[in-house]
């Protein structure tokens, strides 16, 4: 699944994002409204990840969505 598809289905995807990154708050998810850059930044902030790691995790998340 590409990010445009995730963004287009953001309301449905928020639960899966929250399961994957539980440190993100509902407010975080609501404010980012499916924007990949904002999600990456919040993952970096909440988990202390480098930008590259956050991006890698987002890529893996999208690949797992394809497998579902």
* CATH code: domain of residue 41: 1.10.1470.10
Q: What does pLDDT average to in each consecutive run of 10 residues of the chain (68 residues)?
A: 89 93 96 95 97 97 86
**Cα–Cα distance, 9 to 29 (Å, whole number):** 13
pLDDT score, position 52: 98
pLDDT score, position 67: 81
Per the structure, how many domains does the chain have? 1
Buried b (16+ CB within 10 A) or exposed e, 48-67: eeeeeebbebbeebeeeeee
| Domain residue limits at 11 | 3-67
**Cα–Cα distance, 54 to 61 (Å, whole number):** 10
pLDDT score, position 35: 95
pTM across the whole model: 0.90
Cβ 32 vs Cβ 6: under 8 Å: no
């Amino acid at each position: 699944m590409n990010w445009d598809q995730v963004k287009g289905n953001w309301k449905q995807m928020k639960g899966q994002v929250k399961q994957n990154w539980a440190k993100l708050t509902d407010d975080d998810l609501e404010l980012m409204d499916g924007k990949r850059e904002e999600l990456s930044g919040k993952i970096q902030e909440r988990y202390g990840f480098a930008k590259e790691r956050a991006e890698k995790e987002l890529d893996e998340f999208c690949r797992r969505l394809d497998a579902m």
